[in-house]
Amino acid sequence: MDIALDLGTANTRLRINKNGNAIDEPSVIAYNRDNNEILSFGREAYEMLGKTSSRIHVVFPLEGGVIASSGLVEELVNIFMCEVCTSRVVMPRVVACIPGEITEVEKRAIVGAISSFGVRRVLLIESTKAAAFGTGMDIMSPHGCMIVDLGAGTVDAAVMSLGGMSVSKTIKTAGNAMDDEIIKYIRRKHNLIIGKAMATSCKEAIGCVIKPEIEETFRVKGRDSLRGLPKAVEVTSCEIMEAISDITAAIVNTATDVLEDTPPEMLGDIQTDGIMITGGLSQLKGMRELLERETGITVHRAKDPADSVVAGCFEATAFIEEAEAQRANLNPLMTVY
C-alpha cells in the first residue's frame, strides 16, 4: 500500500488512490494540559480554537511547513494513518512533501514523525515538485516550467526541468502570517481584539490583494481593547488588502527573485507556458492577476489548488520502485528512509 501525505501547516491530506483524498483535516490537535491526554483532532479540534478552558490546549503542531512539536505531530500522523490503514499486516510506503529550503534536521524530524506509525519506507519530495505533478506539468523533460505554491506556512517558488529544480526560493510569510497581520491591523485601527479563527474567516470572505471592483464588508466580533466588553465592527476588503500588503509584496518579490535567477533558455519556456500557482492562498482574490501584472507573464491557477500537492505526491508513488533500487538518475523523489 502506497500513501501520499501532505503534512501541511494548516491542513493534513492523505490520498491512497486517484479518486480523492482519504483524509482532509485541519492540522490541529487538542490535549489536556494536566495529563497530556489527546482530546480531539482535525476539524473538531479546530472548532475549539479560542473556546476552551485553561486546562485544554489547542495547537497547530506544524509551523512554517516544519515540525514545531514532534510529539504532537507523531500523535496526529498516527491518528490519521490509522484511519486509512485498517490492517497492519502490510506496512505502507509513504511519499511525503517538504518545503523547498529545509535543513537535514527538519527532514529527519518529519521522517521520524511518519515512521513512528510503523511504515515500511518514507520518501520525500519538495512541495513544488509535488504540486507540479498534481497539476499535470511535465517536469521530467528538458523544458523549463515555473510553479509557485502558496500555502499557510510557506510560499515556495521554483523553476524545474529534468526532474530537478534549477532555481528555488522559500519564504515563511504566507497565509498564517496574513492572519496575524489582520489581527494586528484590526486591533490597531478598531481597538478590537479578535482570534485567529475570526481572522481566517475574514481573510477567506473578503480578503484581496488588489483593489476590488465592488467593495465588500465582513462583520468581525471580538473584545474591545479599551473597555474589555464584547464588540463587533464592519471591516472592508480594502482594509484587509492594506493589512496584508507587506505579505503580498514578499510573495511577489519571491516570484520575481526566482525569475531573475533563472537561465535565459528556461525563461523562454516560462514566457511561452506561463506560471502555475497552487495552494489554498492562490485562491485569494486578485492573487493571480497581481502576479501576472508584476511579472509580465501569464499566470494560471490550478484546477484544484488546495489538493495539488497531495495529488502530486500520489503521482510520485510511481517512482518508488526506482528510488528504492536507486536506478533512476532523474527520479523526483529525494530521499529513501
Q: Please tell me the distance from the alpha carbon of residue 161 to that of residue 113, in angstroms, as a whole number.
A: 31
C-alpha cell at 319: 517512482
Q: What is the DSSP string of 318-331?
A: GGHHHHHHT--TT-
pLDDT of residue 89: 63
What value does the mean pLDDT take over residues 53-82?
A: 88
Range of weakest confidence among 85-94, 172-181, 187-196, 315-324:
85-94
pLDDT of residue 336: 67
The contacts found for 258-262 with CB under 8 angstroms, 24 or more apart, are: 258/146, 258/157, 258/158, 258/159, 258/167, 258/168, 258/169, 259/146, 259/159, 259/295, 259/297, 261/167, 262/144, 262/146, 262/159, 262/166, 262/167
Burial group, residue 265, by CB count within 10 angstroms (0-12, 13-18, 19+): exposed
Amino acid, single-letter form, for residue 233: V
What value does the mean pLDDT take over residues 199-203?
A: 95
Residue that has been written with the C-alpha cell 481573510 in this structure = 203
Task: Name all domains of the chain by residue range, CATH numbers in brackets.
Answer: 2-130+310-325 (3.30.420.40), 140-302 (3.30.420.40)
User: What would the pLDDT profile of 114-151 be if each residue is shown by its tens digit?
Assistant: 888 888 889 999 999 999 999 999 888 899 999 999 99
Q: Please tell me the distance from the alpha carbon of residue 91 to that of residue 298, in angstroms, as a whole number.
A: 44
pLDDT of residue 66: 80
Task: Categorize the per-residue pLDDT at 326 as very low, low, confident or very high, splitting at 50, 70 and 90.
Answer: low
pLDDT of residue 199: 95
Smallest Cα–Cα separation from 177: which of 157, 152, 158?
Answer: 152
Residues in the chain: 337
Answer yes or no: is pLDDT of 303 > 80.
yes
State in Å, rounded, how far the first CA of the chain is from the last one. 16
What value, to the nearest 5°, has the Cα angle with vertex 255 and ends 254 and 256? 95
What value, to the nearest 5°, has the Cα angle with vertex 279 and ends 78 and 200? 80
Between 70 and 230, name the one with better pLDDT.
Answer: 230
Radius of gyration of the CA atoms of the chain, in A: 21
Whether residue 120 contacts residue 91, with contact meaning beta carbons closer than 8 Å, is answered with: yes
pLDDT of residue 31: 93
Answer yes or no: is pLDDT of 298 > 70.
yes
Kindly report the average pLDDT of the chain as a whole number: 90
pLDDT of residue 157: 95
Residue that has been written with the C-alpha cell 471592483 in this structure = 213
Range of weakest confidence among 46-50, 258-262, 295-299:
46-50
Amino acid, single-letter form, for residue 211: K
C-alpha cell at 101: 529550503
Quote the crossing angle between the two packed helices 175-190 and 196-206, to the nearest 10°: 100
Residue that has been written with the C-alpha cell 523549463 in this structure = 144
pLDDT of residue 312: 92
pLDDT of residue 327: 58
What value does the mean pLDDT take over residues 172-201?
A: 95
CB atoms < 10 A from the CB of 72, how many? 23
User: What would the pLDDT profile of 244-256 be if each residue is shown by its tens digit?
Assistant: 999 999 999 999 9
